[in-house]
């Protein structure tokens, strides 16, 4: 026996909410009025809910009224529709199975009406149980049993006439389908070419879309980066503007204070007479210089004019250090030409540094003393001493002559 799944078909129709298919199924009860009876049986007697769903008196309820209000009933009480549909399936399932197996089930009863056949066809198609055509022969020439009555011959005759009409109808449908198939095959090639062309265009458009999306992603990243830079620049500009405003306010305050001070000075000059110029004081007696050599021995002395080494104090100090470093290394540097280094023969017997007051003034104005006291200077001095230890030949310039 063929295993069919009619229950699954019914569950699927109900799950999909297929009102049209449910209307076909519920129209297929064998007896007229059976649908209305099944509907009323699912509610209490004189139920107002049942009457409201069909908007009719239950005493006058017809199958057509239930089918007309089927959507309303299914929305509020789907279990009622499910039970009624299962009742139809239980009453017709055996006939459906015999039809699916190729047997003719209506040998002892009259052929059902058209609505039943529509419901049966729906179930057979959904269950994919296409019947075999052998049952046509059994129906056309039914087996006769001994003692068969004239009523059976009448039934068989009705069956044969109905089947002949159905076969003729199927033949016409086959011809119509053949003609439609013939007409559809002609444009198939053109349709395939169009489909191929459309598929290719779709692929191209998809590639363009992907490229556009990648470009958009890159632009979004660039936009976010530019936005962050702009926000940072805006914050820096705001800080600079605030600083400029503060400096402008301080400048205005200083200008006001300067103007006020100038006015006060002018008033004091006007109110007070000019002080008398004091008589010139005699120049202090210069201390006697104590030199390590006699004045007549200046021919062997290295004379360094400090003031002429550079214009700025910082450059003069650096030039003096580079001058001495070049002398220690014995290099012919251009800075040595500003002294009498070229006229000396060997190590000088002494060094005269002129303009020593400028040297002391430069060292005071540059804040060299504070820098010498810092840890950075101590570290650099330590490193230089390490370098001197690595190279023991480095000695002060004037000590080289005593070797």
- Domain boundaries along the sequence of the chain: 6-141, 187-267, 297-402
In sequence order, the β-bridge partners of residue 350 are 301
| Angle of CA points 187, 188, 194, to nearest 5° | 90
Q: CB neighbours of 308 closer than 8 A, spacing ≥ 6?
A: 338
Average pLDDT per 10 consecutive residues for the chain, totaling 403 residues? 73 91 92 92 91 91 92 93 93 87 81 87 81 44 46 63 71 81 72 83 86 86 90 89 89 87 80 56 45 61 88 90 86 85 81 88 80 71 68 67 56
Q: What is the pLDDT of residue 42?
A: 92
Question: Is the CB of residue 53 less than 8 Å from the CB of residue 76?
Answer: yes
Query: Residue 74 contacts by C-beta under 8 Å, 6 or more apart in sequence?
Result: 17, 19, 22, 81
Query: What pLDDT score does 350 carry?
Result: 83
Of the candidates 117, 103, 125, 96, the one whose C-alpha atom is nearest the C-alpha of residue 162 is 117
- Read off the tokens for 223: 């936009």
pLDDT at 349: 79
Say what the pLDDT of residue 194 is. Answer: 80
**Model pTM score:** 0.37
Sign of torsion, CA 141 142 147 148? negative
Please tell me the distance from the alpha carbon of residue 382 to that of residue 61, in angstroms, as a whole number. 118
Query: Rounded to the nearest 5°, which phi and psi values hold at 57?
Result: -70, 135
**What is the residue-wise DSSP string for 101-165?**
HT---TTSSPPPPHHHHHHHHHHHHHTT-PPPTHHHHHHHSPPP-TT--HHHHHHHHHHHHHHHH
Helix then strand count (H, E) for the chain reads 15, 2
Closest to 337 in 3D by CA, of 300, 312, 309: 309
114-134 in b/e form (b: 16+ CB < 10 A) is: ebbeebbebbbebbebebeee
What is the model's pLDDT at position 184?
72
pLDDT at 142: 44
The predicted structure's pLDDT at residue 78: 93
* Separation CA 304–CA 377 (nearest Å): 26
Tokens of 93: 């399932």
Output the pLDDT for position 250.
87
CA distances 252 to 241, 245, 247, 262, 291, Å, are 16, 10, 9, 15, 57
Q: Which of 131, 140, 132, 137 shows the shortest CA–CA distance to 159? A: 140
Give the separation between CA 42 and CA 145, rounded to whole angstroms.
Answer: 43
386 in helix, strand or coil?
helix
């Amino acid at each position: 026996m063929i295993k069919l799944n009619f229950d699954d078909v019914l569950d699927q129709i109900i799950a999909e909410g297929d009102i049209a298919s449910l209307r076909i199924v519920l129209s297929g009860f064998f007896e007229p009025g059976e649908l209305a009876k099944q509907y009323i049986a699912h509610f209490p007697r004189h139920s107002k809910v049942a009457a409201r769903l069909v908007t009719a008196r239950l005493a006058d309820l017809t199958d057509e009224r239930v089918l007309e209000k089927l959507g309303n009933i299914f929305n509020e009480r789907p279990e009622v529709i499910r039970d009624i549909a299962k009742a139809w399936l239980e009453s017709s399932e055996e006939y459906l199975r015999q039809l699916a197996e190729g047997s003719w089930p209506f040998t002892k009863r009259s052929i059902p009406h058209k609505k039943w056949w529509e419901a049966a066809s729906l179930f057979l198609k959904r269950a994919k149980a296409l019947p075999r055509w052998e049952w046509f022969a059994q129906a056309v020439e039914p087996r006769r049993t001994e003692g068969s009555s004239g009523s059976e011959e009448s039934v068989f005759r009705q069956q044969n006439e109905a089947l002949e009409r159905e076969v003729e109808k199927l033949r016409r449908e086959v011809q119509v389908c053949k003609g439609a198939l013939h007409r559809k095959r002609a444009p198939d090639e053109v349709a395939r070419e169009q489909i191929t062309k459309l598929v290719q265009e779709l692929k191209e458009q998809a590639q363009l879309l992907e490229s556009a999306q990648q470009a958009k992603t890159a632009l979004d990243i660039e936009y976010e980066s530019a936005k962050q830079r702009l926000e940072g620049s805006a914050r820096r500009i705001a800080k600079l503007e605030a600083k400029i405003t503060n400096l402008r306010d301080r400048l205005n305050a200083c200008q006001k204070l300067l103007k006020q001070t100038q006015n006060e000075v002018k008033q004091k000059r006007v109110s007070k007479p000019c002080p008398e110029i004091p008589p010139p004081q005699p120049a202090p007696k210069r201390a006697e210089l104590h030199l390590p050599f006699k004045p007549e021995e200046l021919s062997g002395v290295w004379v360094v004019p400090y003031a002429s080494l550079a214009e700025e104090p910082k450059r003069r100090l650096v030039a003096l250090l580079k001058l001495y470093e070049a002398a220690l290394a014995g290099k012919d540097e251009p800075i040595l030409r500003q002294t009498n280094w070229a006229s000396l023969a060997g190590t000088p017997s002494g060094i005269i540094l002129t303009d020593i007051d400028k040297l002391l003034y430069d060292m005071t104005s540059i804040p060299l003393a504070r820098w010498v006291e810092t840890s950075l200077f101590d570290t650099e001095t330590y490193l230089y001493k390490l370098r001197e230890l690595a190279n023991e030949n480095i000695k002060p310039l004037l000590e080289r002559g005593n070797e």
